[in-house]
């Protein structure tokens, strides 16, 4: 009888373990399915039809020097709510003669993982002269220009600049997208809060600082928040998926 009781207890323990394992597998599958769900995303150009796209991570002109994993087409995606707010930004700026140029928006986690592999390969410095000439790769990581997680993967962040519609040219921001250094900080040569320009030798001009502030002010007016070290980077304050890092590929979505 005692032996039977022990066998029953062992069986119950094994069954409980199997059930726990099944639940863990089911939970992992549920999380994976959620990160692959693009149903709440839209093509930005379906919402902001006059936006110009220059998707840097689809090509090779970027700090890695290669197409990023997960960029299957040169399109820009965002959550619907973020894209609607970006449309308000576009309409606002259009009255002042500007349209938007987008470098990146939704970025799958697999692309962020690609960034990390690049960051950890200290021998790969082929693009250093173009994007981070004054930093080591370790400093690029330490100063959080590259991180293991990105707000872009949550779907409501965008990297962008302005285009002068009358001239058909990018507005001069005094620096290029994805330049890693203090020159890219919004407060470089000025105060974004007071809009006071602080000239310094070798710095950006007052016009370049002002141009950055035009973009910044429009984004803030319509619900986006800035990043401290990139003048081109903005995230919707009330983003719908603050804790989800999506991983479906960047490719054209059906119109919704």
CB-CB contact of 81 with 42 (8 Å): no
Distance in angstroms (rounded) separating the CA atoms of residues 23 and 29 = 10
Q: Which residues are catalytic?
A: 230
The CATH number of 41-236 is 3.30.1380.10
User: What is the rounded distance in angstroms from the CA atom of residue 28 to the CA atom of residue 36?
Assistant: 13
Question: Please, is 12 exposed, middle or buried when counting C-beta atoms within 10 Å of its C-beta (0-12, 13-18, 19+)?
Answer: exposed
**pLDDT per residue as tens, the chain (256 positions):** 555 454 455 455 555 555 555 556 566 556 568 999 999 999 999 999 999 999 999 999 999 999 999 999 999 999 999 999 999 999 999 999 999 999 999 999 999 999 999 999 999 999 999 999 999 988 998 888 988 999 999 999 999 999 999 999 999 999 999 999 999 999 999 999 999 999 999 999 999 999 999 999 999 999 999 999 999 999 999 999 999 999 999 999 998 7
Q: Classify burial at 227, counting beta carbons within 10 Å of its beta carbon; exposed 0-12, middle 13-18, buried 19 or more.
A: middle
Instruction: Show me where the domains of the chain are located.
Output: 1-35, 41-236
d(CA 165, CA 230) in angstroms, rounded, equals 24
């Amino acid at each position: 009888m005692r032996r039977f009781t022990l066998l029953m207890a062992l069986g119950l323990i094994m069954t409980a373990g199997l059930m726990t394992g099944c639940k863990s597998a089911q939970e992992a599958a549920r999380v994976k399915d959620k990160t692959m769900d693009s149903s709440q995303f839209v093509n930005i150009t379906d919402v902001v039809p006059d936006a110009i796209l220059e998707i840097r991570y689809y090509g090779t002109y970027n700090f890695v020097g290669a197409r990023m994993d997960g960029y299957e087409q040169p399109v820009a995606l965002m959550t619907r709510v973020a894209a609607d707010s970006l449309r308000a930004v576009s309409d606002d700026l259009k009255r002042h003669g500007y349209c938007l140029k987008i470098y990146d928006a939704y970025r799958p986690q697999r692309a962020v993982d690609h960034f990390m592999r690049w960051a950890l390969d200290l021998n790969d410095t082929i693009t250093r002269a173009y994007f981070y000439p004054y930093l080591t790769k370790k400093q690029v990581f330490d100063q959080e220009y590259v991180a293991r997680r990105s707000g872009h993967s949550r779907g409501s962040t965008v990297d962008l600049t302005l285009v002068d519609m009358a001239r058909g040219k990018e507005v001069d921001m005094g620096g290029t997208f994805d330049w890693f250094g203090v020159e890219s900080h919004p407060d470089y040569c000025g105060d974004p809060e007071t809009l006071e320009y602080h000239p310094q030798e070798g710095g950006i001009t007052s016009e370049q600082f002002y141009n950055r502030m035009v973009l910044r002010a429009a984004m803030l007016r319509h619900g986006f928040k800035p990043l401290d070290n990139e003048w081109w980077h903005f995230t919707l304050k009330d983003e719908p998926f603050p804790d989800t890092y999506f991983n479906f590929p960047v490719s054209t979505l059906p119109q919704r």
